[in-house]
Amino acid sequence: MSSDPANASIVAAFDAAAQSYDAMTQVQREVARALVARAAGEFSVPKAILDLGAGTGHVTELALQQWPHAKLTALDAAPAMLARLRAKFPRARFPNVATIRRDAARLDGVGRYDLILSSMMLHWLDAPRDALALWRGHLAPAGLLCVAVPVAGSLLEWRDFTRSAGIEDGLWDFPPEDFAKGLGANIEISDFPAAYPDARAFLRALKSAGAHKSRPGAPSARTGALRRLLATRAGPFRATFRVALLSLRAD
């Protein structure tokens, strides 16, 4: 992210959701598990790991379980998220875990790593493809970059629901499935569905996870129209994240 007001508001949204994030991010936890499993299949014993967009520590926790002796650095732009992560992994018990508060699009001075992981964060950056190239440049020789990012087609159920009523959904835009084409990435696309009691609960979950910011330039949904639409959907609601799991080797 850059330092412009739109991106500052994204950081603020995640900061505000730090206390509720863990309870509302089962899909994110499942994606993190798939990401770490993929990395473990391609890199046996990394000595230094960087978790980009670490949040409250879903990937950090799983990486520590997989590689308990690795030095792990968790990086995030939201201070409240990092505070939650540090509370889970205090230095006295986890001397191999360090944190950095930093914009993931600006990695000057963070060093090089055998393994760089990032889950469900890349799409928030201004230029996802450029970020991949930047991150790849921070790999140690023979290092591996593994990323999980929602792509176009994610949350299609909500988009279809709102657009059928003539309401602009306003959700953040996700990169196309082929956004990393030409970089030599190994890419697998998987769907991660989630069930909610109703459509209103889906919106509450997005807000409680800090992931509710509208895309730049999106018109504000008419509150009354949206409220009436939600009243028509009283039953269970399903939303699916379409996720690209990709890996890149060091240049």
CATH of the domain at 83: 3.40.50.150
Reported confidence tier of residue 46, pLDDT bands at 50, 70, 90: very high
Q: How many CB atoms lie within 10 A of CB 191?
A: 10
Q: How far apart are CA 102 and CA 108, in angstroms?
A: 10
Reported confidence tier of residue 171, pLDDT bands at 50, 70, 90: confident
End-to-end Cα distance, the chain? 24
pLDDT of residue 183: 95
Q: How far apart are CA 23 and CA 28, in angstroms?
A: 11
pLDDT of residue 189: 98
State the pTM of this model.
0.94
For residue 166, what are the domain limits? 5-249
pLDDT of residue 220: 67
Provide the number of structural domains found in the chain: 1
pLDDT of residue 222: 62
**Cα distances (Å, whole numbers) of residue 169 to 35, 57, 112, 180, 198:** 29, 29, 40, 26, 17
pLDDT of residue 229: 87
Among 161, 154, 155, 236, CA closest to 195: 236
